[in-house]
Structure 1
Amino acid sequence: MSATHLQPPTGNCQYFVETGHYVCDEFLGFYETRGGLEIFGYPLTEAFDDPTRGLRVQYFQRARMEWHPYNPEPYKVQLGLLVDELGYRYPPARQEQIPAFNSPIHHYFPETGHVVSYAFLHFFREKGGLDIFGYPRSEFMYEDGYIVQYFQRARMEWHPEILSGPQMRLTNLGEIYIERFGIPGDYAEPRPPPERGGPYPTPLEPTVTKLYISASVRYVITGRQGVQTVFVYVTDQRQQPVQGVSVSMVVHYQSGDQRYEFKPTNASGFTRRSFDILPSPPGHKVVIDVTMTYGDLTATTQTFFLPWW
């Protein structure tokens, strides 16, 4: 691998210290105006000429950008159909699932035979529609513990347990694609940051300015004795996991409160704490207040369980 090949690129670029890659020129303009981190995530490669497609492309955590120089504006930058390429396709909606007419809460797409509804439709319309997501490739469905829906260019996940941040998230399809098919050459290798005084600003280490916390219990309905576990996940304003967050919880029983400390969150932003359930009246909801602290930042959320037998 030549040192010259790994030199910073020229042009209007931004360097992402989180992954060690640059986004430049037309791809950077598209990134900044069409959703940024929320939609695309961080870059996983440099831009490169893909011989299998005859296009200049760049992979991000959740997407692949493609440069189509002969398209009219504003369609020169397109997003790859990763869901189609990964083979995620599902039967069309049944006749009884198709709404009689489109509305603010339901929209039928005859092009692929699927319906988009509720929070998925709101996110679809608010965040770019067909240009960003493409047509739906499934109905909403339950997978991996969440309600999800596939589109040609994205997989949406609804996270109702997140009380203090966006509940709709996008799957990291770019990562899945690279893991399955790989990347030619060394374009996924991290690049050195720009030198101070270079053509674009020297990047700063990312600063956590806001925290989002979600908490859930292993058993929503339990016996009046036994062991319960609370799971906590913490992300920052970029929807990236935060390590080293201090987490505590207060479990509110009729007989009094119990306080517990968690281990700090790991590199994936997760921590958990198990505890013995104290005797409680059947059918009485036990509320759990979860608090986390990271430097000067704090956030809180709630979860609960129901002792029954």
Structure 2
Amino acid sequence: MKSMRSFIGLVMILSLLAVSPVQAQDDDHNKYFDQTRHNIQGAFWHFYQNINEAETFLGYPITEQFINQDGVLVQYFQRARLELQNGEVHLSPLGTLTYKTGVQLRIDNPLACRDFETGDAVCFAFLQYFDEHGGLALLGYPISPFEYQDNRVVQYFQNGRLEWHPSKPEGQRVVMGELGAIFFNSTGEDPARRDPVLPLDPSIRTQVLSLKVRAFPWKAVTYSTDQQLIFVVVQDQTFQPVQGAIGQAKVIWTTGEEKTLPVLIDENGIATLPLTIANQAYGGLVTIDVQVSLGEQSGQTTTSFRIWY
């Protein structure tokens, strides 16, 4: 019996340690996230590593750490903000700071809900998510009931907002709202802090994780015999220009005939494709299908222009 009590006590202590504020660490450990092209370092990185499913709970960093207008060391993430106060890392109370009342949905189900001293209850899948992601120590107390906002069921907590996404797969339908990005945009901080940066570790090479491809014609309408330019723009996951992507553009003329042009993206993330138009049908539509790739990443888009006369 004594050994059982000792075991239970140990489990309780470990549970508390898992969600307690993390002490600032005087080290240079860091990680670079290509998804947003920002670093996490020191105490913030140590805190991040100790969060269950941090990449979905906090999201990726959208700034570097910096001293904000209140003189506090902070770092913004997609879904949260971390701050260093008195040597400890905490989640900022973004739920409290951003809460606006929506259409309230009252639920009375004692078997599926847990009441809190704020007068609000957490229920169903929100309660499961709450328990699995630090509970009071991370999300804080609920400060609203279920509410209907922007065509979605949500619930606010002191440090965040939970959202219900029924179209997502089972087990992924409760999502932390992107209050970090929302609050950053409302604070008056320098927007340039969100600009991508290089890794703190110079040995790390940045990676292109996705290609965003756009194309558009120089002239939306041309003569049946004319000159035209097609511009192809390729950017990465952070909307930075991608150099060296290659591919092809398939031009489908008004007659149904096809012409293929090579695409080579320059250092500015742009390719310019000249087209000679000859004897096309009046009022017809010329379509250009563009496909480009870089390593394992690929992207495609379509544009068009109209033949006038």
Q: Output the TM-score relative to the length of structure 1.
A: 0.53
One-letter amino acid of the structure 2 residue matched with residue 114 of structure 1? D
Mapped to 1, the partners of 2:67 and 2:132 lie a distance apart of 32
Residue 23 of structure 1: CA displacement?
A: 0.4
Q: Does 2:92 correspond to 1:80?
A: yes
Tell me the secondary structure at the aligned position of residue 44 of structure 1: coil
2:147 is aligned, of 141, 148, 151, to 141
Tell me the secondary structure at the aligned position of residue 177 of structure 1: helix
Change over 3 Å in CA distance of 1:122–1:144 after alignment to 2: same
2:63 is aligned, of 36, 45, 58, to 45
**Cα RMSD over matched residues?**
3.1
Mapped to 2, the partners of 1:180 and 1:23 lie a distance apart of 22
Mapped to 2, the partners of 1:195 and 1:178 lie a distance apart of 26
One-letter amino acid of the structure 2 residue matched with residue 14 of structure 1? K
1:157 is aligned, of 148, 158, 163, to 163
Q: Does 2:148 correspond to 1:131?
A: no
Q: After superposition, give the CA deviation of every residue in 1:8-35 in whole Å (9 maximum; x if it has no partner).
A: xx92111112222110011111112213
Mapped to 2, the partners of 1:206 and 1:27 lie a distance apart of 24
One-letter amino acid of the structure 2 residue matched with residue 157 of structure 1? E
Question: Where do residues 1-309 of structure 1 align in structure 2 (5 Å cutoff)?
Answer: 11-35=28-52, 36-52=54-70, 54-70=71-87, 76-88=88-100, 105-110=112-117, 112-163=118-169, 166-184=172-190, 186-194=192-200, 196-197=202-203, 201-206=204-209
In structure 2, stretches of 5+ residues that fail to align are: 1-26, 211-295, 297-309
Mapped to 1, the partners of 2:40 and 2:59 lie a distance apart of 12
Mapped to 2, the partners of 1:131 and 1:189 lie a distance apart of 31
Contact kept? 2:102, 2:149, Cα under 8 Å: no
Residue 167 of structure 1: CA displacement?
A: 1.1
Residue 89 of structure 1: CA displacement?
A: 5.1
- Structure 1 match to 2:272: none
Contact kept? 1:79, 1:132, Cα under 8 Å: yes
Change over 3 Å in CA distance of 1:158–1:90 after alignment to 2: closer
Contact kept? 2:33, 2:39, Cα under 8 Å: yes
Point out the structure with the larger helix share. 2
Contact kept? 2:105, 2:146, Cα under 8 Å: no
Change over 3 Å in CA distance of 1:65–1:194 after alignment to 2: closer
Between the two proteins, the alignment pairs up a number of residues equal to 186
Q: Output the TM-score relative to the length of structure 2.
A: 0.53
Change over 3 Å in CA distance of 1:93–1:18 after alignment to 2: closer
Q: After superposition, give the CA deviation of every residue in 1:145-178 in whole Å (9 maximum; x if it has no partner).
A: 2221111111111122223661111111111112
Residue 125 of structure 1: CA displacement?
A: 0.4
Contact kept? 1:194, 1:202, Cα under 8 Å: no
One-letter amino acid of the structure 1 residue matched with residue 40 of structure 2? V
Residue 189 of structure 1: CA displacement?
A: 2.9
Contact kept? 2:99, 2:156, Cα under 8 Å: no
- Structure 2 match to 1:243: none
In structure 1, stretches of 5+ residues that fail to align are: 1-9, 71-75, 208-294, 296-309
Tell me the secondary structure at the aligned position of residue 160 of structure 1: coil
Mapped to 2, the partners of 1:115 and 1:46 lie a distance apart of 36
Contact kept? 1:55, 1:67, Cα under 8 Å: yes
Tell me the secondary structure at the aligned position of residue 155 of structure 1: strand
Q: Provide the identity percentage.
A: 34
